[in-house]
Amino acid sequence: MNKRVQLQDLGLKDYKETWDFQEKLFKEIIDLKIKNRREEESVDTPNYLIFVEHPHVYTLGKSGDISNLLVDEKALEEKGASFYKINRGGDITYHGPGQIVGYPILDLDNFFTDIHKYLRFLEEMVILTLADYGLKAERSKGETGVWLDVGTPFARKICALGVRASRWVTMHGFALNVNADLGYFDMMIPCGIKGKAVTSLNVELGKKEVDMNEVKERLLRHFSSLFEAELIKQKTEA
């Protein structure tokens, strides 16, 4: 079981380019697993964690409803935003500058073969990170992601989750609003959930801007602890 996770921070990068990069790593791991099984070898499968910020983009999961995007193609162009239908679970999500997007591409055979536990660990990583900033974040029953003030009229989402898995290999991941422009969320029904607000860490802390690198370091610390992983920083390849 290889618990080493190669970390790559891509900075600001186009969504489609990053998606293609994820697919490449995802396929390489699956191909290696098939080869191992066929040849009865025991070559370690690699694991990756990608951090990235995307230019403004809306993505719709395979079970999503396009009507949850509230604007047309022209309006998207005017706002400098793009749109993709993609192969993760979940409904519609926005990504943009000021948001930390994390794509763990893990072979769960190296950790545990339980997708429910995997999603809960990603949520817990964010919950613990927000606790470092004095915020009480939690899960909302039946709604994947991380929320504040659950069960009140002021419930608001701060982190979205959506993953894909095949042969216990994962891709896609989480999006944590740190210094996000919340106006872009008005152009959709976030995750298809009506009547719920969205927030960002800087808004909750009453700050103009929160140090993104500090948030990443805290996320990594909790990720490493929860998954009992050894993180190895890699040079950018995408």
Which pLDDT does position 194 carry in this prediction?
58
Q: How far apart are CA 43 and CA 33, in angstroms?
A: 9
Which pLDDT does position 75 carry in this prediction?
83
Write out the chain's pLDDT in tens, 238 residues.
899 999 999 999 999 999 999 999 999 999 999 999 888 778 999 999 999 999 999 988 877 778 878 888 788 888 889 988 888 877 788 999 999 999 999 999 999 999 999 999 999 999 999 999 999 999 998 888 999 999 999 999 999 998 999 999 999 999 999 999 998 888 877 555 556 789 999 999 999 999 999 999 999 999 999 999 999 987 665 5
For residue 106, which amino acid is it?
A: L
CATH number at residue 170: 3.30.930.10
Which pLDDT does position 23 carry in this prediction?
96
Is residue 238 situated within a structural domain? no
Q: How far apart are CA 34 and CA 86, in angstroms?
A: 25
Which of 108, 191, 212, 219 is catalytic? The answer is 191
Is residue 33 situated within a structural domain? no
Whether residue 90 is annotated as binding a ligand: the answer is yes
Indicate the burial class of 141 (C-beta count within 10 angstroms; 0-12, 13-18, 19 or more). exposed
Is residue 129 situated within a structural domain? yes
Q: If you search the block for the tokens 């939690």, which residue do you land on? A: 138
Is residue 38 situated within a structural domain? no
Selection from 148, 156, 144, 151 nearest residue 191 by Cα: 144
Q: How far apart are CA 42 and CA 21, in angstroms?
A: 25
Whether residue 149 is annotated as binding a ligand: the answer is no
Token readout for 26 is 């995802």
What is the domain count for the chain?
A: 1
Give the domain extent around 59: 51-101+108-228
Which pLDDT does position 217 carry in this prediction?
98
Whether residue 95 is annotated as binding a ligand: the answer is yes
Whether residue 66 is annotated as binding a ligand: the answer is no
Active site residue 191: yes
Whether residue 160 is annotated as binding a ligand: the answer is yes
Q: How far apart are CA 86 and CA 62, in angstroms?
A: 6
The per-residue pLDDT for range 152-204, each reduced to its tens digit, is 999 999 999 989 999 999 999 999 999 999 988 888 775 555 567 899 999 99
Which pLDDT does position 237 carry in this prediction?
55
Is residue 30 situated within a structural domain? no
Which pLDDT does position 102 carry in this prediction?
98
Is residue 12 situated within a structural domain? no
Token readout for 2 is 């290889």
Is residue 65 situated within a structural domain? yes
Is residue 73 situated within a structural domain? yes
Which pLDDT does position 44 carry in this prediction?
95
pTM above 0.75, yes or no: yes
